[in-house]
Amino acid sequence: MGTVSIGIAIVALALIAVIFIFKWGKGKRAQKPSKWAFLGMVFVIASIFFSDINRFWGYGLMGAGVILSVIDLVRTERQAKQ
């Protein structure tokens, strides 16, 4: 069961990445993700692999990735308003 859920998560992340590439590719030049967003994505992907070894590390990395992504979102929105 664990292998199936890891496979589904990887496919979902790949689909999200493809959708964003095609959406941002039309009309606008795609921006590179910031260091915070990139680090958040790395933590979320790492949590997929560590969830089978130890749930504490898996959920911890997932939470850290989400928090970093939210921080990046807030920072970028504040900079866009100024």
Query: In terms of residue numbers, what domain contains 69?
Result: 2-81
CA–CA separation, 77 and 71 (whole Å): 10
Model confidence pLDDT, tens digit, residues 16-64: 777 666 666 555 555 677 888 888 888 888 888 877 787 788 888 888 8
CA–CA separation, 15 and 19 (whole Å): 6
Supply the DSSP symbol for 52: T
More confident residue, 7 or 30: 7
CA–CA separation, 53 and 24 (whole Å): 36
Q: Is the pTM of this model over 0.95?
A: no
- Number of domains composing the chain: 1
